[in-house]
Amino acid sequence: MSKPTILTVDDDPMVSAAISRDLRNRYGDDYLIVRASSGAQALAVLAKLALRNQPVALIAADQRMPEMTGIELLEQARGHAPGAKYLLLTAYADTDVAIKAINDIGLDYYLLKPWDPPEERLFPVVEDLLDDWRQANPDHTSDVRVIGNRWSDRSHELKTFLARNYVPYRWYDVERDSEAQRLAQLAEAMPADLPLVLIPDGDTLRSPSTLDLAGALGLRTTAQQPLYDVCIVGGGPAGLAAAVYAASEGLSTVIVEREAPGGQAGQSAAIENYLGFPKGLTGSDLAQRAVAQVSRFGAEMVLARSVIGFETRGPVHAVQVEGAAEIEARALIVATGVSYRRLDAAGLAELTGRGVYYGVSASDASQCQGDDVYLVGGANSAGQAALNLARYATNVVLIVRGASLEATMSRYLIDKIAATPNVHVRCRSEVAACRGNGHLEAITIAARDNGRVEEVPASWLFVFVGASPRTEWLGPDVLRDDKGFVVTGQELLAHDKVWRLPRAPFALESSVPGVFAAGDVRLDSMKRVASAVGEGAMSVYLVHRYLATV
């Protein structure tokens, strides 16, 4: 793969030379730095690069140029370099125009001139944009390859695991791709061996578990220390935030995550109301940034392991991990979040993973090209998924039990859905049955008002209903409500003989001293990403207070 290009565009020769020099000094080893002195010249350069199939990572353009402004250039540049990141160099007087360009042309960032010193003002911005570009444009020569059946639940499980753990992979459908058939033949694979996972410089994996796959990829699946200051169960926004704050404050920290970092939020196609990101960001992007912070501060992450129980042994909590040694910690933070509730519809359980899915990943969305897709749910997660799927599917039908979306979905999502012509909403409806031979072929939709039923052909059904907390492993000592959410703080005092210490429980503390709950798993939490992050950070503050008492 040839060096990706960074293109700078400025009509002022001194400014053009300065930004090119700064970028070349910092990024010249990995990127080709090209400069243009006008919008027209920049478009000519981009056309030449496109013909040569040379990737363009970043275009940094000055706004105030004669004949063609920076925004006008960037708008036209999309046709030559659709995946490039856009950076606008502008004066303070043009900030309103730059902010408008975020929505109008997908501007990624605007930077006020001058940018001295570049180490503080230019390079952090450029590095962030290049990180995003590299994530979206990996060098495929080192990709993992997965060979399997499109409607296999095991194939779906492995692809989801790879995608959510940021492992680039290529998918080959053994029923439709001649290359998949060739690879399967070379591996002498029997039907029971599928899916195959081919890892560069590694052994061929035959229908591996996610734990086997994680180990083959070098992901950590066991804890490294006998005792930690804090163990965090769950790697969603609350757990990741707790790990960042705990590790940055010097606490030895381990996270145990059974699937992948990010939790439900990590699968979100767009989080548009998170503070500090005016253009919004994907759940995957947020999770990846958080994981990088966790790693930077030295917290450990144990993946592909389920926690099945815990015991309190004096001042220590022992977390029991399936298939591995237990982990001991002085404090425990429960951040396991929630999972989507299973639908009760005839035939649905047999087709789960074969056209019926709980949640949706980016790879699922791209596989729906040209199909009709059905979603069940009326909350924000369903709305975000519907808009993402609409980019690929012919039609997206949102099936909602309620009379409207207003009571359960944010207004900005409702407005976007109304403005998207291939997204349709069926209120007061529910899925009554699913049918298919080997994979989903049809669903039956029932009207809740009059009981009328209608069967429609369907290959894809995504479910986004309810919230079931993952707390069964906590045992009887941790008080939970009848739905499984952890009771914390002052609410414990409303239950007789639950809290036995002379001091009051801390705000996020459970009925077991030193065991805290943060995020969606906690009773009466807000069920929003920002609040989960806040509770994760707050839990560490309370852990410090707890550790000072024992």
Report residue 219's pLDDT band, with 50, 70 and 90 as the boundaries: very high
Q: Express each pLDDT in 44-100 by its tens digit.
A: 999 888 867 788 999 999 999 998 999 999 999 988 888 899 999 998 878 888 899
At 460, the amino acid letter reads W
Boundary of a domain, candidates 463, 489, 516:
463
Average pLDDT over residues 107-118: 90
Q: Express each pLDDT in 414-453 by its tens digit.
A: 999 999 999 999 999 999 999 999 999 999 999 999 889 9
Question: Looking at the domain assignment, is residue 493 inside a domain?
Answer: yes
pLDDT at 363: 65
Q: Are residues 131 and 169 in the same domain?
A: no
Q: Show the domain range for 87.
A: 5-136
Residue 169 is classified by DSSP as E
From the list 89, 86, 84, 87, the residue with the least C-alpha distance to 134 is 84
pLDDT at 453: 94
What's the chain's average pLDDT?
A: 92
Residues in the chain: 550
Q: Are residues 155 and 201 in the same domain?
A: yes
Question: Looking at the domain assignment, is residue 171 inside a domain?
Answer: yes
Q: Are residues 115 and 258 in the same domain?
A: no
pLDDT at 84: 94
Cα dihedral: 124, 128, 133, 135 (round 10):
130
How many structural domains comprise the chain? 4
Average pLDDT over residues 274-284: 85
Q: Does position 1 have pLDDT exceeding 60, yes or no?
A: no
Q: Express each pLDDT in 510-539 by its tens digit.
A: 999 999 999 999 999 998 899 999 999 999
Q: Does position 2 have pLDDT exceeding 80, yes or no?
A: no
Q: Are residues 194 and 236 in the same domain?
A: no
Q: Are residues 34 and 115 in the same domain?
A: yes
Average pLDDT over residues 382-393: 93
pLDDT at 340: 87
Question: Looking at the domain assignment, is residue 307 inside a domain?
Answer: yes
Q: Does position 153 have pLDDT exceeding 60, yes or no?
A: yes
Question: Looking at the domain assignment, is residue 29 inside a domain?
Answer: yes
Relative to beta strand 327-334, strand 442-447 is unpaired
pLDDT at 243: 98
Q: Does position 507 have pLDDT exceeding 70, yes or no?
A: yes
pLDDT at 362: 63
Task: Classify the phi-psi angles of 461: left when phi > 0, otherwise alpha if psi is within -120 to 50, otherwise beta.
Answer: beta
Average pLDDT over residues 278-286: 86
Q: Are residues 132 and 171 in the same domain?
A: no
Question: Looking at the domain assignment, is residue 221 inside a domain?
Answer: no
Q: Which residue has the tokens 């960032």?
A: 109
Q: Are residues 163 and 204 in the same domain?
A: yes
Q: Express each pLDDT in 171-204 by its tens digit.
A: 999 998 898 998 888 888 999 999 999 987 778 8
pLDDT at 139: 72
Q: Does position 485 have pLDDT exceeding 70, yes or no?
A: yes
Tokens representing 108? 């990624």
Q: Are the CB atoms for 447 and 429 separated by under 8 Å?
A: yes
Question: Which CATH number is 14's domain given?
Answer: 3.40.50.2300
pLDDT at 114: 86
Question: Looking at the domain assignment, is residue 290 inside a domain?
Answer: yes
At 414, the amino acid letter reads I
Question: Looking at the domain assignment, is residue 387 inside a domain?
Answer: yes
Q: Are residues 47 and 72 in the same domain?
A: yes
Question: Which CATH number is 420's domain given?
Answer: 3.50.50.60
pLDDT at 142: 65
Q: Are residues 9 and 119 in the same domain?
A: yes
Q: Does position 460 have pLDDT exceeding 80, yes or no?
A: yes
- Cis upstream peptide for 278 (omega within 30°): no
Measured CA to CA, the distance from residue 362 to residue 339 in angstroms comes to 18
Q: Are residues 244 and 330 in the same domain?
A: yes
pLDDT at 116: 86
Report residue 271's pLDDT band, with 50, 70 and 90 as the boundaries: confident
Q: Are residues 414 and 501 in the same domain?
A: no
Question: Looking at the domain assignment, is residue 56 inside a domain?
Answer: yes
Question: Which CATH number is 147's domain given?
Answer: 3.40.30.10
Boundary of a domain, candidates 463, 498, 518:
463
Measured CA to CA, the distance from residue 509 to residue 279 in angstroms comes to 36
Q: Does position 366 have pLDDT exceeding 70, yes or no?
A: yes
Report residue 252's pLDDT band, with 50, 70 and 90 as the boundaries: very high
pLDDT at 136: 84
pLDDT at 65: 93
CB neighbour list of residue 350: distance below 8 Å, 6 or more residues apart: none
Boundary of a domain, candidates 463, 485, 520:
463
* pTM for the predicted model, two decimal places: 0.81
Q: Are the CB atoms for 68 and 11 separated by under 8 Å?
A: no
Q: Are residues 475 and 333 in the same domain?
A: yes
